[in-house]
């Protein structure tokens, strides 16, 4: 078992990483005032696999109510947020009670936003069960729901009390979900850790990755910890974590959040960003080909068609400011920078490199 401490003043918490730690969800409450009630939020895919284990642990501490939501991106919506409020009020929750998010990024984002706004904020434990949520979305306190205008446009910054990562849960993922999550691991390699990227280049098979999964998850969480400690609210350094996400969000919206999982969209978005960086003279030539080759080797998409008018949606991206947008570009593998360019220029650049 490995533990990382996130040191955000006033909001410090631990990330616990290991095999079988799902059975120890209640350990957080040792030597603390125990809540009377805990609302456990999960989805239809995760509940049959892990809800009973977590319920059993938490029931030793408090009264537990489990809410099972549909799986999929469409659950991250105002409708299901309202359902969680209704469930909490029917349960009689108070500000001293707790919420636990058990699932992937959708459940983590939705439940985090719910916890941050319920009674002006109740404690939340994040228990991510997908690779994407373990290495990225469960850490750092970003919460959000989607609205018709775009992805993650309504949300808060709200740090969890603890993140509990059981790497055994990754064994139940389909290859599509596993490698979709691996896109975020590749992202960390491109923007920060050349050794991580090269390790994946040498051994991209799932069995090889799982053989050292605890170290991989720890490395990614440690990178994100360092970034978030310096920039909790995404106004500077933290923006580098959006590498590949601007084009990725265009893909997700173009396919109505159902055609490609988030990691697949981000994977292609990294190719687009690297091509753009090379065209602008910022990225070392050949970097886009290396990223594309690794993405291809792990069965992630390297070509995704979209209509030109879909590129206009970038104007609503959270990284846009007025007529400009901040774009994250690789300098080389292991290093990146933020570049601010006009939205119109970004759209034209996308057109030029999208299918290059």
Rounded to an integer, the average pLDDT of 151-175 is 96
d(Cα 204, Cα 183) in Å, to the nearest integer? 12
Tens of pLDDT along 42-72? Answer: 999 999 999 999 999 999 999 999 999 999 9
**Domains located in the chain, CATH noted:** 2-172 (3.40.50.1970), 175-353 (1.20.1090.10)
For the cut 80, the answer to whether the pLDDT of residue 319 exceeds it is no
23-37, 196-210, 231-245, 252-266: range with lowest mean pLDDT? 252-266
In the structure, what pLDDT confidence band is assigned to residue 318 with cuts at 50, 70 and 90? low
For the cut 70, the answer to whether the pLDDT of residue 315 exceeds it is no
Helix pair angle (343-353, 262-279), 10° resolution:
100
pLDDT for 355 equals 83
- Tokens matching residue 86: 């209704």
pLDDT for 210 equals 97
Residue 212: which residues within 8 A CB-CB, separation 6 or more? none
pTM: 0.94
Strand 320-321: give its sheet, edge to edge.
320-321, 324-332, 335-342
Q: Are 250 and 306 in contact (CB under 8 A)?
A: yes
- Tokens matching residue 83: 């359902």
- Tokens matching residue 321: 């400011």
Rounded to an integer, the average pLDDT of 199-215 is 96
Per cent of the chain over pLDDT 90 is 84
- Tokens matching residue 6: 């996130």
pLDDT for 253 equals 86
Number of residues that this document lists for the chain: 356
Share the mean pLDDT of the chain: 94
pLDDT for 257 equals 82
Nearest of 132, 158, 136, 156 to residue 144 by alpha carbon: 156
**Residue with more model confidence, 259 or 89:** 89
Helix pair angle (175-191, 262-279), 10° resolution:
30
pLDDT for 242 equals 94
């Amino acid at each position: 078992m490995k533990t990382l401490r996130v040191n955000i003043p006033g909001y410090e918490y631990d990330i616990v990483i290991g095999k079988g730690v799902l059975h120890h969800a209640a350990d957080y409450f040792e030597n603390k005032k125990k809540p009377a009630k805990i609302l456990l939020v999960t989805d239809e895919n995760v509940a049959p696999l892990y809800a009973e284990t977590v319920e059993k642990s938490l029931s030793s501490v408090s009264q537990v109510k489990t809410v099972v939501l549909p799986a999929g991106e469409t659950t991250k919506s105002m409708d299901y947020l309202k359902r969680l409020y209704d469930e909490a009020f029917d349960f009689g929750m108070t500000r001293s009670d707790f919420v636990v998010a058990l699932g992937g990024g959708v459940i983590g984002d939705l439940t985090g936003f719910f916890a941050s706004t319920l009674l002006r904020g109740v404690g939340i434990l994040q228990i991510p069960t997908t690779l994407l949520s373990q290495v990225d979305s469960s850490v750092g306190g970003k919460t959000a729901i989607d609205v018709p205008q775009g992805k993650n446009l309504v949300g808060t910054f709200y740090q969890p009390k603890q993140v509990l990562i059981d790497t055994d849960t990754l064994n139940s993922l389909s290859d599509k979900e596993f490698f979709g999550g691996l896109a975020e691991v590749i992202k960390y390699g491109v923007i920060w850790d050349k050794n991580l990227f090269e390790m994946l280049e040498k051994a991209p098979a799932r069995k090889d990755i799982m053989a050292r999964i605890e170290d991989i998850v720890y490395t990614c969480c440690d990178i994100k910890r360092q970034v978030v400690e310096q920039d909790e609210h995404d106004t500077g350094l933290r923006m580098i974590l959006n590498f590949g996400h601007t084009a990725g969000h265009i893909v997700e919206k173009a396919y109505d959040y159902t055609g490609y999982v988030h990691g697949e969209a981000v994977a292609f978005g990294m190719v687009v960003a690297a091509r753009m960086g090379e065209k602008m003279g910022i990225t070392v030539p050949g970097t886009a080909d290396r990223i594309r080759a690794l993405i291809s080797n792990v069965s992630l998409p390297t070509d995704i068609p979209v209509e030109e008018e879909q590129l206009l949606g970038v104007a609503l991206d959270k990284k846009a400011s007025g007529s400009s947008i901040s774009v994250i570009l690789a300098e080389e593998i292991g290093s990146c920078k933020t570049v601010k360019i006009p939205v119109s220029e970004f759209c034209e650049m996308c057109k030029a490199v999208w299918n290059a």
